[in-house]
Amino acid sequence: MRATIYHNPRCSKSREALAIVEASGAEVTIVEYLKTPPSAEDLARLYKRAGMTARDGLRLAEPDAKALKDANEEDILAAMAANPILIERPLVETAKGVRLGRPPEKVREIL
């Protein structure tokens, strides 16, 4: 099985999700999304596969998220692509789907 994790190594939840994916034996591709941000189109695809909206994937704890309070999906996706700290992490994708690892154990659903 192959898995891709959109990962922030400084985040404990992201590290926990990565450990779960690695322990499953999956071949893991790690994307440090702060260094290599996904495009708005990639984010839209990921959220659609996860059954989420962009707003669901918005990291509300970030000060810049407040400016997106009344934004539409397209504007939120554009803001996330331009300022990837706004992306809630970790996102894990496998052939079985996409999950936001909050809590990290949710990624088991797609392993």
Determine which one of 3, 5, 11, 69 is catalytic: 11
Q: Reply yes or no on whether 91 is catalytic.
A: no
- DSSP readout, 38-75? PPHHHHHHHHHHHT--TGGGB-TTSGGGGGGTT--HHH
Contact 32, 8 (CB under 8 A): yes
**Assign residue 4 a region: left if phi > 0, alpha if psi is -120 to 50, beta otherwise?**
beta
4 beta partners? 29, 93
- Residues labelled catalytic: 11
